[in-house]
Amino acid sequence: MSLPLLLGFSLILIAGTSFATGAWILLHPARTRRDRLTEYTGGVTTTNLGPVRPVSKMSAYAERIAGLAKEGDERELDRLRRRLLQAGFRSPSTMAWYNAWRVVLALGFPMVGFAFAPVLTTPVLAMTVLSLAFLGYYLPHRVVEHLAAQRGEAIMRAFPDALDLLVSSTEAGLGLDAAVQRVAEELEDAAPVLALELQIVVHEVAAGIPRAKALRRLSDRSNLEAVTSLVNVLVQAEKLGTSVAKALRVHASLVRQRRILAAEERAARIAPKMTVAMILFLMPSLFVVILGPAVVNLIRNLMPALAG
C-alpha cells in the first residue's frame, strides 16, 4: 500500500475515532440537567405553581453539546434569541438546539473532506476540512436568517389587510383588544403567521402583561418597520388618551400613501434596468443583423480587389 493512501486511511480512522469519542462523552454526561434540578429541589416534583416541567433527555444532550458554541457576550445572546423568535422558534430549548447543530455540523462536515484524503494533497485536504467546518458552523445561521426573512415576507403580505380590518373593527365600536382578537380570527386561514402573532398579543394582555409591552414584543418578533410604526401609533394613542380609531384611520392612510410611493419607485427603476439589459443583450444582436451583410459584401468585393 502506498504511503499517501496509508496516510489518508489513518487520518480517517483518527478523525472517526475522535468524533465518536467526543459524541459519547457529550451525549452521556455524568450529571444531566434533570439530575441537577433534582438535587436543587431536594427531589420535589411539584410547587405552588404546579408540577415541575420534566427536562427531556434530548434537550439535556443538546444543552451539553451547545456548551461548546455558546456566545460569551450577553448582547449577542439577546440578539440571537430575538432572531430565533423572528424565525418562529419559541421553545425554551431553541438556543441549545441551535448551538448544538452548529457544533455537530462543524464536526460532521469535515468527515466528507477526510473521505477524499487518499486523492488530495495535504494542503488541499487541510483547506477542504477547514472550509467544510466553517460551512457547517455557519449553515444554521443562514437557515435561521432565511426562515426569519420568509416569515417577515408572510407578515408583510397580510399586513395591509390586517390594518384595514383593524380600522373597521375599532370604528365599529370594538375595543383595541377585542379588535385585535377579531382580526386574528379573521386572518387565521388566510395569514396564519400574522394571526398567530396577534393571538400572542391578545393572550399576553389577558395574562396581565401591559398592552404597550405586549405590542413592543410584537414589534421585536416581527422586526418590520410597518409593524413598528403601527405599534408606536397604538402606544402613543393609549398614552395620550386619543381615539384609537381615528389614529388608526390616519395611520392607514399614511401607510397606503407610502405603499403607493414605494410601488411608483419600483416602477421607476424598471427603465434603467431595461436600458442596461438592452445594451448588454439586444444591441450586439442588432449590430450583427444590421452590419453583418455590409461586412460580408465589403469582404467579397474589397478583398479580391486588394488581392489583384
Over residues 166-182, the pLDDT tens digits come to 888 888 888 888 988 99
Q: Which of 147, 173, 190 is the last residue before a domain boundary?
A: 147
What are the CB-based long-range contacts (under 8 Å, 24+) for 73-81?
none
Q: Which three three-digit cell numbers place residue 303?
A: 478583398
* Same structural domain, 229 and 255: yes
Residue 283 phi, psi dihedral angles, 5° rounding: -60, -45
CB burial string 30-59: b at 16+ within 10 A, e below: eebbeeebbeeeeeeeeeeeeeeeebeeeb
> Which one is predicted more confidently, 30 or 241?
241
Range of the domain at 131: 3-43+55-147
With contact defined as beta carbons under 8 Å apart, do 120 and 129 qualify? no
In a domain, 286, yes or no: no
Percent of the chain with pLDDT over 70: 73
Statement: residue 19 has pLDDT above 60: no
Q: Which residues contact 126 (CB under 8 A, 6 or more apart)?
A: none
Q: Which of 105, 126, 147 is the last residue before a domain boundary?
A: 147
In a domain, 49, yes or no: no
How many domains are contained in the chain?
A: 2
Query: What mean pLDDT, rounded, does the chain reach?
Result: 76
Residues 270-300: tens digit of each pLDDT = 888 888 878 888 888 888 888 888 888 888 8
* Same structural domain, 33 and 125: yes
Q: What pTM did the predictor assign?
A: 0.64
In a domain, 285, yes or no: no
Q: Which residues contact 203 (CB under 8 A, 6 or more apart)?
A: none
* Same structural domain, 15 and 137: yes
> Inter-axis angle of helices 74-86 and 122-171, to 10 degrees?
60
* Same structural domain, 167 and 70: no
* Same structural domain, 121 and 79: yes
Cα angle 18, 23, 25; round to 5:
95
* Same structural domain, 164 and 141: no
